[in-house]
Chain A
Amino acid sequence: MKRIFIFLGKGGVGKTTISASLAFWLAEEGKDVFWFSVDPAHNIGDIVKKEKLSQKTKIYKNLWVQEIDIENFLKKYLEKNAKKMKQLYKQLQVTQMEKIFDIMKLSPGIEETAILYAIHEVIEKQEHDYIIIDTPPTGFTLRILALPQVNLKWLTALKEWRLKILDKRKIIADIRKEKTPEIKEDKILKELEMHLKLMQDMNELFKDKNTKFILILNQDKLSLKESERIKSKLKLLKFNLELVLINKAEIAEVEEKLFKESFPESKIVFLPFIKNRFQLEKEDFLELARYWVKEVI
């Protein structure tokens, strides 16, 4: 069974560093791990000192990494639909559909949905036991996490609406004794059902007990306030916050009470600040992992 770890937190708190610590620890334990990023500003490559990680790459024992190129994912999706339109409507052969679809890439909200679909595709395809997802900063990620539930409502309503349309078309055809295609063969209905299934899958996946949300924050007020907002949003979406990690805890005096008041229902672990390092190495990640990994594995 796949176990999924999703790291959340304000920009710059150390999400990628902590996800690296889990990835290396699991690989060191002999587990089969896939660690990928959907953050448009990736930095897995900076951490593992490798460029061009747009393809799945093995970096250590059974640890595979990938930086998902969302722009390219979106481009391919739009090209596929432009091609479909050209095949169906011959008059569009002369139109430069690609250019029109190129502008559509900039539509508001399209990138978040593309990230959700990319995550779904990766999780469906990959057979690894452990999947670690490095996410974009808070606001962006919260919108992505809310998408399945929002779209489930839209798609359910649209499916019902479509069925009403098909039902009326059938009534008219029956009175006129004309032939109509089967309702279940309707292409729009099929597309809606496909999207509906994907949203249901993602919603179930986010709620699954094998999916663990781990919140990272630092000892500063902004980071704490933003983390409280993440906690509330996760609660609203009914996703389980597994663990709260206070990263670089030794930088300031540890105020355990303050954090415990903010996250009374969650386990909290304080992680040390690894000093005198321009760039962390595998050993540093493993050391960091020893402080917290046992809480979730």
Chain B
Amino acid sequence: MNFNEVIKIFKQTFSGIKEGVKEKSIDHIETELKDLEGAFGMILFASLMGFPSFSPFISISLLPYSEKEIITMLSRSKFFDDFAAFWFDLADI
């Protein structure tokens, strides 16, 4: 094994570690992002689901652009027993 091959193996190893660290940090930000998107959707459209909250008149104008938030909100709700209760608890309602 010559010197160049050793360098190559080092480069590959560090590159793998770097990618791993990068993906790990992205994972963390993505989880945070999904929480934010889910809760954002929940606040916007809670009134359309029967919870007293933000004016439905304004929510309706945001509805056409909120597909991503609604999908995230619904997908996140699968992981919690009672997502609404969690936010209501947080808001001390």
Q: Are A and B bound to each other? A: yes
User: Are B57 and A158 touching (Cβ within 8 A)?
Assistant: no
Interface contact B55-A191, CB-CB below 8 Å = no
Binding site for B on A (CB under 8 A): 77-78, 81, 84-85, 88-89, 101, 104, 107-110, 113-114, 117, 147, 151, 154-155, 158, 161-162, 164-165, 168-169, 171-172, 175-176, 187-188, 191-192, 195
Please, how many angstroms separate the alpha-carbon atoms of A146 and B30 in the complex? 38
- Is B85 located at the chain interface by the 8 A CB criterion? no
Residues of chain B within 8 A of A104, CB atoms compared: 48, 56, 60
Residues of A within 8 A of B52 (CB): 108
B29:A151 contact, CB within 8 angstroms: no
The answer to whether residues A158 and B36 also contact, given A84-B64, A175-B25 and a CB cut-off of 8 A, is no
Range class of the B interface residue count: 20 to 34
**Cβ-defined partner of B37 (8 Å) among A85, A108, A155, A165:** A165
- Check A109/B36 contact, CB under 8 A, given A81-B61, A171-B29, A195-B61: no
Question: Which B residues contact A (CB, under 8 angstroms)?
Answer: 22, 25-26, 29-30, 32-33, 36-37, 39-40, 43-44, 47-48, 52, 54-58, 60-67, 69
Report Cα–Cα, A104/B22, bound state, in Å. 45
Contacts of B61 in A (CB 8 A): 81, 191, 195
Does more than half of chain B's interface fall in helix, strand or loop, or is it mixed?
helix
Assess whether A81 is in contact with B63, with CB atoms less than 8 Å apart: yes
- Chain A interface, DSSP helix/strand/loop, else mixed: helix
Give the residues in chain A near B63, CB-CB below 8 Å.
Answer: 81, 85
Q: Check B55 against A158 for contact (C-beta < 8 Å).
A: no
Complex CA distance for A113 and B40, rounded to whole angstroms: 21
Q: Are A107 and B64 touching (Cβ within 8 A)?
A: no
A176 to B69, CA, bound (A): 21
Residues of A within 8 A of B30 (CB): 172
